[in-house]
Amino acid sequence: MEEVQRHSVHTLIFRSLKRTHDMFVSNQGALPEIDDKLEKIRKSIKARDSYSLVFDRVARAESNRKCVEIANNSRKNSLSNPEKVLYITNGQDNPINVNANTAIMAADTMNKNNFDIPSSNAMVAMTGIRPSVNSTSNVQLIPKKAPAIPKPAWHAPWKLARVISGHLGWVRCIAVEPQNEWFATGAGDRVIKIWDLASGKLKLSLTGHVSTVRGLAVSTKHPYLFSCGEDRQVKCWDLEYNKVIRHYHGHLSAVYSMALHPTIDVLATSGRDSTARIWDMRTKANIHTLTGHTNTVASVVAQAVNPQIITGSHDSTIRLWDLAAGKSVCTLTNHKKSVRSIVLHPTLYMFASASPDNIKQWRCPEGNFIQNISGHNAIVNCMAVNADGVLVSGGDNGTMFFWDWRTGYNFQRFQAPLQPGSMDSEAGIFAMAFDQSGSRLITAEADKTIKIYKEDEEASEETHPVNWRPEILKRRKF
């Protein structure tokens, strides 16, 4: 056998281009000559199709200018002979017979009302596009009224009510029990702790993970607690026996987020393997593997109506999934940086996504963009929203911003207090959640503490007024 001679990629590409050129070069001489008449007709049809409205406006403006000139001349020269017949063109080279009195009346009407005269035999004033008073050739459009900016609702400021210590590592996730009696936290110490919501006392510690616990979810229909972590494990805990009863195997890397479907017994998880997986809660079967993201899927949420699964990823995209088909129905690419958190509004058919560039609001089911919420100049790790329309975002530098959901107005911001003895770099907020009543906010932080915030009961609209300045918002938006 003859040895095949190796060539560089550049040589191979050049040969391919030359062969293609030699194959089709003979066809160039067989092309018909361009017919100038047909080409002119084609361009005129295309111009008429695209710019017919502009052409009509220009023709009407030109006819109006000629009408005004002739009528004004007739006022000067024909007052002595009002029955003199004038010929006025209507923009289509068709003369119209009018006497001088009619022309003068038309000129007075146009000068008084600045109306547009249509290109027809009847001189009838019509509304619409009007010629400028100072110029007879320019067309003046009616200015569009700027949309009104709604005034934000008043929300009471929030204050720190309790600090809970107990974890030996960064606290990474929170889940509140449906009956609002307790909540669970997972941390870098590999332990899941269950706390009494009213008193803040530790009720139970669950051990079983061999790495950081990154996600928790409590079932509303069963006495089950679900957990996931950086050890690639997804566990189901039976809270009547306080032990693991099921494992869900399939993720190839760390699992960062999880969500329970509100009506169907399925569990959604997502993680560093760039996928989200749908599990049958009872049989442990992997129903769907949702592929399409090209980087870590940091957040997954589930709701009862379409889209039932929404994911946010470090590839800067958000995907809306059809749960029945297991396919992506929409990809939102508005964000320019990693999407680390997605939160569903508890009552509205909307959701919000957080990224270092902006917090964005979307409307379901198509994922229509609503507005940007700007001002949080940090990596936003987590968000929470309650039924009163209070949206809270927590940053990697320990900053917390409170927003009005409807208008995006920032009514409060502060730096979360550090636990004594902690370093400044341990100021991050990793997770947050409202309790079932929406009156208490629980945060999981890098100083190994859990903090509970509540509304200031002594605050009122007089003591904490809404600093609403719509003129600044208009300058930003328009």
Span 397-413, pLDDT tens digits: 999 999 999 999 999 99
* Percent of the chain residues past pLDDT 70, beyond the cut: 80
Q: Count of domains in the chain?
A: 1
Cα–Cα separations (whole angstroms), residue 196 to 159, 199, 242: 20, 6, 16
Q: In what order do the strands lie in the sheet with 224-229?
A: 213-218, 224-229, 234-238, 243-247
Residue 84 backbone phi and psi in degrees, to 5: -65, 135
- What contacts 13, CB < 8 A, 6 or more positions away? none
Predicted TM-score (pTM) of the model is 0.68
> What Å distances lie between residue 138 and 130, 358, 437, CA to CA?
9, 42, 61
Query: How high is the mean pLDDT of the chain?
Result: 84
The per-residue pLDDT for range 9-62, each reduced to its tens digit, is 888 888 888 888 888 777 766 667 778 888 888 888 888 777 777 777 778 888
Asked whether 205 and 192 are in contact (CB, 8 A), the reply is: yes
Q: Looking at the domain assignment, is residue 350 inside a domain?
A: yes
Is 117 a domain residue? no
Please tell me the predicted confidence (pLDDT) of residue 97. 52
User: Would 194 be classed as within a structural domain?
Assistant: yes
Let me know: does 298 contact 312? Beta carbons within 8 Å. Answer: yes
Strands 182-187, 171-176: parallel, antiparallel or unpaired by DSSP? antiparallel
Q: Give the closest residue to 359 by CA, choosing from 325, 326, 399.
A: 399
Q: What is the pLDDT of residues 436-465, one digit of tens each?
A: 999 999 999 999 999 999 999 998 888 888
Residue span of the structural domain in which 350 resides: 158-455
Q: For residue range 213-239, what is the model confidence (pLDDT) as tens digits?
A: 999 999 999 999 999 999 999 999 999
CATH code at position 244 = 2.130.10.10
- For residue 307, cis peptide bond before it (omega within 30 degrees of 0): yes
**Would residue 377 count as lying in a domain?**
yes
Residue 95 inside a domain? The answer is no
Report which of 422, 470, 476, 474 is spatially closest to residue 449, judged by C-alpha positions: 422
The answer to whether residue 142 scores a pLDDT higher than 70 is no
Phi, psi of 14 (to 5 degrees): -60, -40
pLDDT tens digits, one per residue of 343-402: 999 999 999 999 999 999 999 999 999 999 998 888 999 999 999 999 999 999 999 999
User: What pLDDT, in 10s, does the model give residues 162-212?
Assistant: 999 999 999 999 999 999 999 999 999 999 999 999 999 999 999 999 999
Judge whether residue 251 has pLDDT over 50: yes
Which two three-digit tokens encode residue 311? 């994911």
Instruction: Name 66's Cβ contacts closer than 8 Å, sequence gap at least 6.
Output: 88, 89, 91
Closest among 212, 230, 222, 211 to 444, alpha carbons compared: 212
Question: Does residue 128 lie within any of the structural domains?
Answer: no
Q: Is residue 88 a part of any domain in this protein? A: no
**Alpha-carbon distance 62 to 44, whole Å?**
20
End-to-end CA distance of the chain: 73
Look at residue 87 and tell me whether its pLDDT is greater than 60: no
In a domain, 475, yes or no: no
**Where residue 421 falls among pLDDT bands split at 50, 70, 90?**
confident
